Chain A
Amino acid sequence: MNIVVLVKQVPDTATERKLNADDKTLDRAASDGVINELDEYAIEEALLLKEKHGGEVTILTMGPEKATESIRKALSMGADKAVFVNDDALHGSDALQTAYALAQALGTIEYDVVVLGSESTDARTGVVGAALAEYLGLPQLTFARKVDIDGSTIRIQRQTDYGYDVVEAQLPAVVSVVEKINEPRYPSFKLIMQAKKKPVDKKSAADAGIDTGRVGLANAATETVDFAAAPPRAAGTVVKDEGDGGAKIADFLVEKKFV
């Protein structure tokens, strides 16, 4: 069973995140890059599937040069190899262009399952998995909190507002995961050393079969018009509880007509 995991490098949420003043895209140099948190769960799930069903785990990342660090981290968790799509033409791609580009790149890799996170921490659109399934014409098994594969049949529990749906499909399929699904492992020292020697296949957009006339800021269907720092919230009232803290909040709620 060959598994591809989509891994996005995102700015660490603990650092200050900014947009570039000139082209209004994310300033990726401004903060430390880390693996998008849910993508670690995606890697873990791929490794668990490999342990059960055999095969290879390939990391697929699209991003700037800096994303190499995150690819190494993903390899040190135990993935076998990586494909790194790196091309200035991709800069500023929106969510649907990203899905298109990843779909094209997947066309150059052999796989039975594609695993990704259900949402990134920077842009948080949560649409890449669905759009990818649309572009590939493959079953969309997104928001999975449990995955079972039996022969060519795959079954997931899809998290919903009311609980979950059991969804079934035939491989190959696109699976996105929620954090409930597993507990990502920490890289061992041995794996970190091994990861340095694992192959990373760097591809230009053209190598990955991506039409550069369809990607990047200039060709995006969406456009950021402007941005600004959010106005600071007006300073509120903070009081120390002198035995009447609850009553004081009640006063506030009455004044605001919540009670």
Chain B
Amino acid sequence: MAEVLVLVDHVDGQVKKVTTELLTAARRIGEPAAVWIGDGAESGKGALAEYGAEKVYVAPAELGDYVVAPKAELLAKLAQDKGAAAILVSATAENKEIAGRTAVKLGSGVLTDVVDVNAEVVAEHSVFGGATITHARVRTGVPVVAVRPNSVPAEAASGAAAEEAVSVEVSEAAKTAKVVERVAEEQGERPELTEAAIVVSGGRGVGSDDFSVVENLADSLGAAVGASRAAVDSGWYPNQFQVGQTGKTVSPNLYVALGISGAIQHRAGMQTAKNIVAVNKDPEAPIFELADFGVVGDLHTVAPQLTEEIKKRK
């Protein structure tokens, strides 16, 4: 069976959930081979084995010293050396760029933001703010596919996770954009927005930069916090938490929208959520068309009550 390369997302030696989802999808196509760039493979290897990785290729952290290009050189070389059937990455901004450059090198094609992929590497897309479903494939070369987090349910299966050190002679052309500093901005303890199983978002209805009504509910559910553009533009919540067409795309199991009207551009970022709950004081708000459960009311009374109820019932 041909290998399917899976680019591993990891933080501090911990494998991110999306990687276990990608390994699950990779097993449909062939034999999953994880590609770990950077340190920490020793501690993360166990999780890869649990989700069926037969191999773990470990490449040096220095590939990250330059923007994207060296990682694409590594993936393209591995795909050729190992005769890979496909390359899967998570659909983050940087990984999509890696996918694009890798596909250019391989003379193949790239499919981005897919929500499902089958054994023949036919990928499903949800486009136009969720209004249309398309299926697409790559008909030339090794398909490079970027899969949205929370799209393919992870299923355990044991793999050998045989480690092999790999590297690539990084070309001069790939060393032209040098990362000279990495700056971490305040993240807090909450799960990362695009990875979270539950997202609680606040919109203009929150009414001020006091987002605690949203944050408290999120914390009671172990959820990430998101915001509509109206809330971000008002300066109530930082830009990196914006959900929607020009923000992050999330696909959680549960999305809670507080004081968000449900504009098409907001929906573009959350419509593939499995369950949607909305609180809005306007019964005509379009968000209710999507909601599995909705309450017409003031979020400043409904959300705190919900937070208390969750704490009580846990």
A78 at the interface (CB under 8 A from B): no
Q: Distance in Å from the Cβ of A51 to the closest Cβ of chain B?
A: 25
B68 at the interface (CB under 8 A from A): yes
Contact assessment for B291 and A239 in the assembled complex, using a CB-CB cutoff below 8 Å: no
A127 at the interface (CB under 8 A from B): yes
Q: In the complex, how many residue pairs between chain A and chain B have their CB atoms under 8 Å apart?
A: 272
Residues from chain B with a CB closer than 8 A to the CB of A173 are 176-177
Pick the contact of A167 from B139, B180, B279 — CB < 8 Å?
A: B180
A248 at the interface (CB under 8 A from B): yes
Residues from chain A with a CB closer than 8 A to the CB of B221 are 253, 258-259
A213-259 contacts to B, CB under 8 A, are: 220-230, 233-234, 236-241, 244-250, 252-254, 256, 258-259
B67 at the interface (CB under 8 A from A): yes
Residue of A nearest to B172 (CB): A137
Majority SS of interface residues in chain A?
Answer: mixed
Q: How many residues of B contact A (CB 8 A)?
A: 92
Q: Distance in Å from the Cβ of A109 to the closest Cβ of chain B?
A: 20
Contact assessment for B302 and A245 in the assembled complex, using a CB-CB cutoff below 8 Å: yes
Contact with B along A127-157 (1 / 0, CB 8 A): 1111101110111111100000000000101
B137 at the interface (CB under 8 A from A): yes
Q: Distance in Å from the Cβ of B195 to the closest Cβ of chain A?
A: 10
Given A163-B185, A222-B137, A94–B309 Cβ distance below 8 Å?
A: no
Pick the contact of A37 from B138, B185, B246 — CB < 8 Å?
A: B246
Report how far A78 CA is from B192 CA in the complex, Å. 40
Q: How many residues of A contact B (CB 8 A)?
A: 86
Q: Distance in Å from the Cβ of A30 to the closest Cβ of chain B?
A: 11
Q: Distance in Å from the Cβ of B266 to the closest Cβ of chain A?
A: 11
A20 at the interface (CB under 8 A from B): no
Given A225-B137, A229-B131, A125–B296 Cβ distance below 8 Å?
A: no
A161 at the interface (CB under 8 A from B): yes
Contact assessment for B137 and A249 in the assembled complex, using a CB-CB cutoff below 8 Å: no
Given A14-B264, A161-B92, A228-B133, A140–B109 Cβ distance below 8 Å?
A: no
Contact assessment for A224 and B291 in the assembled complex, using a CB-CB cutoff below 8 Å: no
Residues from chain B with a CB closer than 8 A to the CB of A157 are 183
A107-127 contacts to B, CB under 8 A, are: 118-119, 121-127
Q: Distance in Å from the Cβ of B24 to the closest Cβ of chain A?
A: 21
B160 at the interface (CB under 8 A from A): no
Contact assessment for B97 and A127 in the assembled complex, using a CB-CB cutoff below 8 Å: yes
Contact assessment for B104 and A179 in the assembled complex, using a CB-CB cutoff below 8 Å: no
Pick the contact of B67 from A125, A141, A164, A247 — CB < 8 Å?
A: A141
B306 at the interface (CB under 8 A from A): yes
Report how far A254 CA is from B311 CA in the complex, Å. 12
Report how far A19 CA is from B136 CA in the complex, Å. 13
A73 at the interface (CB under 8 A from B): no
A168 at the interface (CB under 8 A from B): yes
Given A38-B246, A140-B69, A256–B135 Cβ distance below 8 Å?
A: no
Known: A17-B131, A119-B246. 4 other contacts (CB 8 A): A125-B100, A162-B182, A228-B133, A252-B293
The 9 A-B residue pairs with the shortest CB-CB distance in the complex, in nearest-first order: A241-B297, A246-B305, A127-B100, A221-B109, A163-B185, A250-B309, A246-B306, A130-B97, A222-B109
Question: B-side interface residues toward A, CB under 8 Å?
Answer: 67-69, 72, 92-94, 96-101, 103-105, 107-113, 122, 126-141, 173, 176-185, 187, 192, 198, 221, 239-240, 245-246, 253-254, 264-265, 268, 275-277, 279, 283, 288-298, 301-310, 313-314
